[in-house]
Amino acid sequence: MSRVQKEIEEAAGLVTRRGVILGGMQLGFMGLLGLRMRQMQVEEAESYRLLAEENRINVRLIPPSRGIIYDRHGVAVAQNAQNYRIIIVREDAGNVEETIAKLRRLVSLEENDLERSLKEMYRRSPFVPITLADQLRWEDIAEVAVNAPVLPGITPDVGLSREYPLGEDFAHIVGYVGPVSDYDLSKIEDPDPLLQIPKFQIGKIGVETKLESDLRGRAGTRRIEVNAGGRVMRELGRVDHIPGRDMQLTIDHGLQNYAQARLSDESAGSVVIDVETGELLAMASAPSFDPNLFVRGISSKNYNALRDNIYKPLFNKTVQGLYPPGSTFKMMTGLAALRAGVMGPGETVYCPGHMTLGGRRFHCWKRGGHGWMDLNNAITQSCDVYFYEAAQRAGVDRLAELSREFGLGERHDLPLSAVREGIVPSTKWKAQVRGERWNPGETLNTAIGQGDVLASPLQLAVMTARIASGKTIKPRLIKSINGVEVPSEEAATLNVPSNMMAMIRRAMHNVSNGRRGTARRSRIVAEGFEMAGKTGTSQVRNITAAERARGVTRNDQLPWNRRDHGLFVAYAPFDKPKYAIATIVEHGGGGSSAAAPPSRDILLYALYGDVPPLEAYPSDQRERIRAQHEEMVLRRRLTAGKKASRA
């Protein structure tokens, strides 16, 4: 009996110890659980509260209003207009096809636009609003609003859309906006979330794209409560957007309008620059196009018409176009020889109509020659042989060095698309680019602005402004940002003796006013407004020895695309230079006949600030000029700028 009792006592003790251990473990587990619960409920409560809110609160972006672009006088050239549009939410529309069929009985919808919208709608969540149509009339929106009960999921809406009130005049400068494409996103390393918004528009060319980040602004946000399916229940709060920055250009809309109208029949480009400040007052490229066509997405028909036009309306000839400058380059050749001391100011060269070098003849444009020529007469009459000799003595490297000092061969820093650098050839350039040695004959071609020399109208305008001022004027396009003036650099004095600069200016004056000047027909007779200029003609085809022997074919007897380019550079007034101009007329023939007349007219508009008076022209030209201006008005090209100015 004692043995049984002992076993019972031992078993009871064992059970008691196990109970204590198990109980302890349970208490420990409960303690740990309590500590964790305390940590989650007290210490980490804020984190879990935010996670929970994310399940029911969404943050949506509010697109900012795009910055407005003005001309120098405060006339809007790119602005935001109310855009009446129709929105559809797929989850509310029920039978989408049936709903859209009802809508089309009320509003005309473009088939291509509708197809793109439907494709976008089915790519996105059913509760995301999609734009079915925009740029609608108020009457269309009112019709939809009245019929809202039978159009489930359809909502009339008002947003902002880009508008270019002066149309073609500023197309190449301001550019245009368009919907963000996959290509646009691929070029951006860290895309702004705004760019993910369907049909959000960004700059595509011109100032619109180069100053995109400034013009776009910053998005606002609104916090909205959504249900488990993602449907919006209510708005909880918002942070307003920051609008884009307004830009004021240096361009004068009246002068720009006149320049576009004056060049409208040509394939041409013209740049007007303030000689003192470097401000660009006009950059006309003709023909132009209506940038408003691109805002919604241009049709294939319209785009193909622009693309296939032989005058290249989509091409900005003022900065993208590179042309042999022809005789407008001769001032550089003359200055290079003078500065190098290899030719004296009054030294003469005999021109028999050609120069022979290495067994090859380099011809002057005047077949019989000019006779004895000094620098003044050589520029006035544009004698090629004089400049062959000057370049041969100075060497191409000195010529290239001086040309760069005058702004050629330089990519000027402007917020425009495809601003090109041009070419000022040298021995080093040819070795690097072509891996070849320089040929002495190439120096002669370079001397008269042919061969490898290429320049844009912008660069030629800068060159002319530097000749007129004697300073390193730099071109400027932005005058102010949000009303704050953009500071400009102080121009340094060019490293050319003043007496040499004076010789070049006097020769350019004779080009326009001398009895034998090549631009005498385009002179300005208004007192105090006399113009100094230089004509240029650049070949686009080779003239064979056989053709030269029988007589060079006249430009008007050649197909348009084989005719010479006409160029002209000038500044005025001669005594107190204010504005400089450079004009190219593609395949226009001679610079004196094709480029000098419109340059004179545009320069006169800049000087007068309006359509030039007939008294500024030679008396025998006034009737023709009057008829010309009447025709420009009849074509309704000159009214646009004045209308905008009154607004």
What is residue 323's predicted lDDT score, i.e. its pLDDT?
97
> So what CATH class is 253-646?
alpha beta
What's the pLDDT band for 368 if we cut at 50, 70, 90?
A: very high
pLDDT tens-digit readout, 486-518: 998 899 999 999 999 999 999 999 999 999 999
Q: Where are the beta strands (DSSP E) in 425-558?
A: 478-481, 484-485, 532-538
Q: Which segment of 57-66, 136-145, 167-176, 615-624 scores lowest on mean pLDDT?
A: 57-66
What is residue 67's predicted lDDT score, i.e. its pLDDT?
96
Cis before residue 618, ω within 30 degrees of 0? no
CA angle 200, 202, 205 (to 5 degrees): 150
CATH fold for the domain made of 59-247: Penicillin-binding protein 2a (Domain 2) (3.90.1310)
pLDDT(52) > 90 = no
In whole angstroms, what is the distance from residue 594 CA to residue 585 CA?
6
Q: What is the mean pLDDT of residues 630-643?
A: 64
pLDDT tens-digit readout, 296-318: 778 889 999 999 999 999 999 99
One-letter amino acid for residue 521 of the chain:
R
Q: Left, alpha or beta for 358 (phi > 0: left; psi -120 to 50: alpha)?
A: left
In whole angstroms, what is the distance from residue 535 CA to residue 592 CA?
6
φ, ψ of residue 569 to 5 degrees: the values are -125, 145
CB 320 within 8 A of CB 333: no
One-letter amino acid for residue 216 of the chain:
R
More confident residue, 185 or 18: 185
Tell me the average pLDDT of the chain: 87
More confident residue, 104 or 535: 535
Beta-carbon contacts of 272 under 8 Å, excluding residues fewer than 6 positions away, are 255, 259, 280, 281, 282, 283, 461, 579, 580, 581, 602, 603, 606
What is residue 103's predicted lDDT score, i.e. its pLDDT?
86
CB 509 within 8 A of CB 530: yes
Burial degree of 200 (CB within 10 A; 0-12, 13-18, 19+): middle
pLDDT tens-digit readout, 79-101: 998 888 888 877 777 888 888 88
- Using DSSP, state whether 41 is helix, strand or coil: helix
Q: Tell me how crowded residue 593 is: count the other CB atoms within 10 A of its CB.
A: 18
What's the pLDDT band for 41 if we cut at 50, 70, 90?
A: low
**Distance from the first to the final alpha carbon of the chain:** 122
Q: What is the mean pLDDT of residues 338-362?
A: 94
Sorted by where each begins, the domain ranges of the chain are: 59-247, 253-646
pLDDT tens-digit readout, 412-447: 999 999 999 999 999 999 999 999 999 999 999 999
pLDDT(129) > 50 = yes
The reply to whether 253-646 shares the fold of 59-247 is no
Q: What is the mean pLDDT of residues 636-645?
A: 49
pLDDT more than 70, % of the chain: 86
pLDDT tens-digit readout, 207-262: 999 999 999 988 777 776 765 544 556 767 777 778 999 999 999 999 999 999 99
What is residue 18's predicted lDDT score, i.e. its pLDDT?
65
More confident residue, 18 or 342: 342
What's the pLDDT band for 4 if we cut at 50, 70, 90?
A: low
What is residue 10's predicted lDDT score, i.e. its pLDDT?
62
Number of H helices, E strands in the chain: 26, 21
Helix spans in 595-621 (H) = 596-608
What is residue 436's predicted lDDT score, i.e. its pLDDT?
95
Highest mean pLDDT among 120-134, 371-385, 545-559: 371-385
Beta-carbon contacts of 121 under 8 Å, excluding residues fewer than 6 positions away, are 88, 90, 96, 130
pLDDT tens-digit readout, 445-471: 999 999 999 999 999 999 999 999 999
In whole angstroms, what is the distance from residue 618 CA to residue 501 CA?
28
In whole angstroms, what is the distance from residue 475 CA to residue 464 CA?
12
DSSP at 520: G
Q: What is the mean pLDDT of residues 156-172?
A: 89
More confident residue, 372 or 160: 372
What is residue 239's predicted lDDT score, i.e. its pLDDT?
76
Beta-carbon contacts of 44 under 8 Å, excluding residues fewer than 6 positions away, are none
In whole angstroms, what is the distance from residue 593 CA to residue 556 CA?
12
**Which residues lie across from 351 on neighbouring strands?**
371
pLDDT(51) > 50 = no
Catalytic residues: 327
Highest mean pLDDT among 35-44, 175-184, 239-248, 384-393: 384-393
What's the pLDDT band for 39 if we cut at 50, 70, 90?
A: low
What is residue 645's predicted lDDT score, i.e. its pLDDT?
41
Q: What is the mean pLDDT of residues 58-72?
A: 84
pLDDT(189) > 60 = yes
In whole angstroms, what is the distance from residue 599 CA to residue 536 CA?
13
